[in-house]
């Protein structure tokens, strides 16, 4: 992975249920923490450990969201987003509701979480141009158009290699959420997502998750 600083786009969930949190929606920097547990091995030759045995590892992603929508609240709390349509003077209005209960005894399930550093790139695909025009620009020859395509492919693959993925990220804390209503108080939805193991035991993926 390359040396990099700066914000990341965060995607939570998949398909129609996915929410994308962009840079301007985050109140503060997102923080990724990796925690590993181990116990020590000792023998009579020294008072210090002679080895360590790993007992577990997990990642924690802390996000502070300033742009709060009903879809984000529903997805992060793990409850359905209810919608209805109201018509006033022939104009349709979509009404939404998120009903949150204590959900006592409910197992917290995970969902896919991906951090994609900025700038966000578009996948150029695998088909090279067959004319002098590529991506809306005309080049002096087909070879030059192919060179531009190859450069975009290289940039995109390098960008994907800097992704961080929780295959199974569970919302384990919302305790920092502040929805105060005040002139000088900005509302924020502060959450922590923890990496649970997926079906293969994988908790965190650094780089391209499609590599086998």
Task: Kindly report, residue by residue over 107-129, the tens digit of the pLDDT.
Answer: 878 889 999 998 899 999 999 99
- Residue 26: predicted pLDDT: 67
Rg (CA), the chain: 23
- Residue 5: predicted pLDDT: 58
pLDDT digits (tens, 9 = 90+) for 80-112: 788 888 888 888 888 888 887 777 777 878 889
pLDDT digits (tens, 9 = 90+) for 11-62: 988 887 788 888 777 666 788 888 889 989 988 888 898 899 988 899 999 8
- Residue 7: predicted pLDDT: 81
Q: Say which residue, 68 or 11, is predicted with more confidence.
A: 11
Average pLDDT value for residue range 184-199:
84
31-41/19-21 β-pairing? unpaired
Q: Residue 176 pLDDT > 70, yes or no? A: no
Q: Residue 164 pLDDT > 80, yes or no? A: yes
Contact 142, 131 (CB under 8 A): yes
- The residue assigned the tokens 């994609």 is 116
Sign of the C-alpha dihedral computed for residues 163, 166, 172 and 174 taken in this order: positive
CA–CA gap between residue 198 and residue 178 (Å, rounded): 31
10 Å Cβ neighbour count for 197?
Answer: 15
User: Which residues are bridge partners to 148 per DSSP?
Assistant: none
- Residue 103: predicted pLDDT: 72
CA–CA gap between residue 178 and residue 156 (Å, rounded): 37
CA–CA gap between residue 42 and residue 47 (Å, rounded): 7
* Residues 6 or more apart whose Cβ sits within 8 Å of residue 209: 163, 165, 167
- The residue assigned the tokens 């090279």 is 128
Query: What's this model's pTM, rounded to 2 decimal places?
Result: 0.77
- Residue 129: predicted pLDDT: 95
- Residue 201: predicted pLDDT: 92
């Amino acid at each position: 992975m390359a040396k990099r600083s700066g914000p990341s786009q965060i995607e939570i969930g998949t398909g129609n249920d996915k929410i994308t949190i962009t840079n301007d929606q985050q109140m503060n920097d997102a923080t990724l923490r990796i925690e590993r547990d181990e116990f020590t091995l000792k023998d009579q030759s020294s008072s210090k450990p002679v080895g360590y045995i790993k007992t577990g590892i997990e990642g924690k992603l802390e996000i502070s969201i300033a742009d709060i929508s009903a879809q984000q609240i529903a997805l992060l709390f793990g409850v359905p987003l209810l919608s209805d349509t109201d018509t006033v003077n022939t104009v349709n209005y979509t009404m939404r509701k998120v009903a949150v209960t204590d959900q006592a005894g409910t197992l917290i399930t995970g969902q896919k979480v991906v951090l994609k550093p900025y700038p966000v790139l578009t996948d150029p695909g695998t088909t090279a141009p067959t004319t002098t025009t590529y991506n809306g620009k005309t080049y002096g020859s087909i070879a030059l158009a192919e060179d531009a395509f190859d450069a975009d492919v290289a940039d995109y693959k390098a960008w994907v290699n800097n992704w961080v993925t929780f295959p199974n990220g569970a919302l384990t804390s919302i305790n920092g959420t502040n929805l105060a209503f005040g002139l000088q108080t900005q509302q924020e939805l502060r959450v922590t997502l923890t990496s649970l193991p997926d079906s293969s035991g994988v908790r965190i993926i650094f780089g391209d998750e499609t590599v086998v």
